[in-house]
Amino acid sequence: MVVKLMLPSEKLLLDGGEKLSPEDTTHYRSVVGALQYLSLTRPDISFCVNRVYQFMSSRTSVHCVNRVLACVLQSPALIFLVPSDWVGNPDDRQSTGGYAIFVGGNLISWNSRKQSKVSCSSTEAEYKAVDDAIAELI
């Protein structure tokens, strides 16, 4: 069975859908945030994730998120993990970043090293690690 993602013509409304409980809202936002990172390596889901992200406060897009998750579970072709820390070494203030790239369940590439430049925030350190991983993918 092939899961169909959101079509560009599909409409999401701010006032539609069931209201989620506070726990479900937190979980929903966490899932959408994880899908945002995953869309870097899965261009097939990027449009749908972008639309869902725009309507995150209305929670009318829960069914769309479920479809994206089903699509990801059907074809976990490429997965990469990117750990990083900010100012991991207090002496030179450099961060450590790394990645592990899997195709299916097989590890095909990995790297872990100090980043060449000092990061100003944890987000910047993460972006540098993601940049290294994407350069390896390309």
Is 127 a residue whose pLDDT tops 80?
A: yes
**What was the pLDDT predicted at 36?**
85
Q: What are the structure tokens assigned to 26, written together?
A: 């937190």
Give dist(CA 59, CA 62) in Å, integer.
6
Mean pLDDT of 21-46: 80
pLDDT tens for 35-83 read: 888 877 777 777 788 877 777 766 665 667 777 888 777 765 666 667 7
**How many angstroms separate the CA atoms of 14 and 20, rounded?**
14
- Per-residue confidence band for 111, with pLDDT thresholds at 50, 70 and 90: confident
**Separation of alpha carbons 74 and 68, rounded Å:** 10
Residues 6+ apart with CB under 8 A from 79: 41, 101, 102
pLDDT category of residue 17 using cuts at 50, 70 and 90? low
Q: pLDDT exceeding 90 applies to what percent of the chain?
A: 0
**Residue 81 corresponds to which tokens in the numbers above?**
């993990």
7 versus 133: the higher-pLDDT residue is 133
Q: Provide the residue ranges of all domains of the chain, joining segments of one domain with +.
A: 22-74, 78-137
